[in-house]
Structure 1
Amino acid sequence: MTPDQIRLVQDSFRQVVAIRVAAAALFYERLFAINPDLRALFPVTDMTKQGAKLMASLGFVVHGLDRADTILPTVRVLARRHVAYGAKEHHYPIVGQALIEALAAGLGEAFTPAVRDAWETAYGLLASVMIAAAREDQLAA
């Protein structure tokens, strides 16, 4: 990611934090609309608490984008945890689509093409690290 992309993601995330409960609800609404089967991965989950976890994880990653080496070990652990929850590699594009759609809805006009591109790049990097970590675990098993 370029420094400008990192700044755009971090600046826009500050706006997301202000609407974090609604943003998380938008994300899960979009996720389950895109692929209703994913609802089964959250069988008895309190979605408000789940949304808070989502926002905390996003915050951790977003704030660490300018020092990726410090967040990558935690991202790999997060990936392994998601495998245990039933996440599959083919879910990552769906999650990315839901995230971008939720951000677009939540941020409105502030979600400019440059901000969208920055978020897509950030999510692509995050997803690739998580997928690689999940594959490593599968090979080790």
Structure 2
Amino acid sequence: MRADDIALVRESFAHLHRRKAETATLFYGRLFEIAAETLSLFKGDMSTQGVKLMEMLTVAIATLNDRDGLTTLLKRLGRNHKSYGVHDEHYAKIREALLWTMKTSLGPAHTPEVAHAWAALYDHIAAIMMDAGRAT
């Protein structure tokens, strides 16, 4: 990712992180709306899952300048998600839900540049995770 994309992601995520429970609720609500079949992949309390989502995004965004560290983290996540039953086709729906959440949560701060930066980040993350999942 380009340095200016990283800066946009970090700046916009700081806004979302202040409302992390709401952001996670929006994300999962949208995901289950557009991909109801993914609901069965989640066990337990969804508020706990929301905390995990926001924590993982926090770590991933914090390590954007550490390619090796980020890649190691994402490969592990990809293998884990494969074991949970996540398939490659789910990643497109997750992308759609995430980008919708960004647009909804950020409101006027959601510019075309921010949208592009988040899409680039997600595509990078998903590619590494899917590759790792296929390798298991």
TM-score range, shorter chain: over 0.9
- Larger mean Cα displacement after TM superposition, 69-78 or 81-90: 69-78
- 1:109 aligns with 108
The CA distance in 2 between the partners of 1:118 and 1:74, in whole Å, is: 20
For 1:83-102, what aligned pairs fall within 5 Å after superposition? Answer: 83-102=82-101
The CA distance in 1 between the partners of 2:7 and 2:48, in whole Å, is: 28
Equivalent AA in structure 2 for residue 105 of structure 1? T
- 2:117 aligns with 118
TM-score (norm 2): 0.97
The CA distance in 1 between the partners of 2:101 and 2:128, in whole Å, is: 22
For 1:1-141, what aligned pairs fall within 5 Å after superposition? Answer: 1-42=1-42, 44-137=43-136
Which consecutive residues of structure 1, in runs of 5 or more, have no partner in the other structure?
none
The CA distance in 2 between the partners of 1:51 and 1:94, in whole Å, is: 17
TM-score (norm 1): 0.94
The CA distance in 2 between the partners of 1:15 and 1:67, in whole Å, is: 23
Deviation at 1:119, TM superposition (A): 0.2
Deviation at 1:33, TM superposition (A): 0.5
SS in 2 for 1:65: coil
The CA distance in 2 between the partners of 1:89 and 1:10, in whole Å, is: 27
The CA distance in 2 between the partners of 1:84 and 1:129, in whole Å, is: 16
The CA distance in 2 between the partners of 1:35 and 1:47, in whole Å, is: 16
The CA distance in 1 between the partners of 2:130 and 2:69, in whole Å, is: 18
Percent identity of the aligned residues? Answer: 36
Deviation at 1:122, TM superposition (A): 0.3
Deviation at 1:67, TM superposition (A): 1.7
The CA distance in 1 between the partners of 2:36 and 2:14, in whole Å, is: 30
Equivalent AA in structure 1 for residue 96 of structure 2? Q
Which consecutive residues of structure 2, in runs of 5 or more, have no partner in the other structure?
none
**Structure 1 runs, 4 residues or longer, greater than 2 Å off:** none
The CA distance in 2 between the partners of 1:65 and 1:74, in whole Å, is: 11
